[in-house]
Amino acid sequence: MSTREKVLWIVAGVAIVVYALFPVGWIVSLSLKSSDDIANGQFLPTALSWENYEQILVGDAAELFLPALRNSFGIVLIATFIACVLSMFAAYAIARLDFSGKKLILSTALAVAIFPVISIVTPLFNLWRQIGLYDTWPGLIIPYLSLTLPLSIWTMSAFFREIPWEMEQAAQVDGATTWQAFRKVIVPLATPGVFTTAIIAFFIAWNDFAYGISLTSTSASRPVPAALGLFSGASQFESPNGPIAAAAVIVTIPVVVLVLIFQRRIVAGLTNGAVKG
């Protein structure tokens, strides 16, 4: 590669980084503007101010934001966990066993994944009100499974297919018991796939807005994205932009941290390009 080409690719790379980070940088910058500064028409604040964060974490808006944060973490983690356990069994069966119905399960998962969420919300809204699940944690955990399960089944079975299952027999031939062979050979190979799937499922559920806004009405179960979406109407500040920006930054931090730590695995999971063991 010539120097000129190298420089070109580096410039293109920098452009990508700017493209990806610019809106994030902007919302961080906005969250650090004081209320006098919000309308300064500039990208950066004239002076750094923590007042938006104070409002969100200890001030007037805390009672809106903090319960939502707790709901989001609780509901999303439980939904992710259930989806991972169920799809682990399913993916194991799909990758390992010969049974009719594999295709049916995989295509059902695909069909569920392309379902418009709003089409499910409409009847659930009514049903949940009748059976008392409206505005409760289970009332969101159950529909979140429609988001996390299909994806988990597809991603995990792609990972599990890549596992060289013969290795476990090889270990047995070498004198390991069935249990030892499974634990020492298969479990370490399967863990990254399960883990990656869990992270992606977490992202998807964390991102949900339609269920959150339709199936909840109070801070008993309203997750962060829905709380943010309704924030402008619910608050009495002159301009809710600053506090919303601060809240947006806080909910973005966990996902950005996850991305930075596990980027390799996330890419592998998203593209089903599990590396062969």
Site for other proteins in 19-78 (CB under 8 A): 19-21, 23-24, 26-27, 30, 38-39, 41-43
Site residues for other proteins, 84-143, by CB under 8 A, read: 85-90, 92-94, 96-102, 104-105, 108-109, 111-112, 114-127, 129, 142-143
Taking CB under 8 A as the criterion, the residue among 49, 136, 146, 235 binding other proteins is: 146
Q: How far is the CB of 240 from other proteins (least distance, A)?
A: 10
The structure tokens 């409206």 sit at 134
| CB closer to other proteins, 132 vs 273 | 273
Does residue 180 bind other proteins (CB under 8 A)?
no
Can you tell me the distance from the alpha carbon of 276 to that of 269, in angstroms, rounded to the nearest whole number?
A: 13
Taking CB under 8 A as the criterion, the residue among 169, 184, 234, 277 binding other proteins is: 169
Q: How far is the CB of 262 from other proteins (least distance, A)?
A: 9
Taking CB under 8 A as the criterion, the residue among 3, 103, 236, 260 binding other proteins is: 260
Taking CB under 8 A as the criterion, the residue among 178, 188, 220, 234 binding other proteins is: 178
Q: How far is the CB of 195 from other proteins (least distance, A)?
A: 14
Can you tell me the distance from the alpha carbon of 49 to that of 56, in angstroms, rounded to the nearest whole number?
A: 13
Can you tell me the distance from the alpha carbon of 227 to that of 56, in angstroms, rounded to the nearest whole number?
A: 12
What residues contact residue 56 under an 8 Å CB cut-off, 6+ apart? 62, 65, 243, 246, 247, 250
Q: Is the Cβ–Cβ distance between 189 and 198 less than 8 Å?
A: no
CB atoms under 10 Å from CB of 111, counted, come to 10
| CB closer to other proteins, 80 vs 214 | 214
Phi and psi at 15, nearest 5°, equal: -60, -40
Q: How far is the CB of 235 from other proteins (least distance, A)?
A: 14
Element (H, E) at 168: helix 166-173
Can you tell me the distance from the alpha carbon of 195 to that of 201, in angstroms, rounded to the nearest whole number?
A: 10
Q: Per CB under 8 A, which region of 47-55, 61-69, 131-139, 222-230 contacts other proteins? A: 222-230
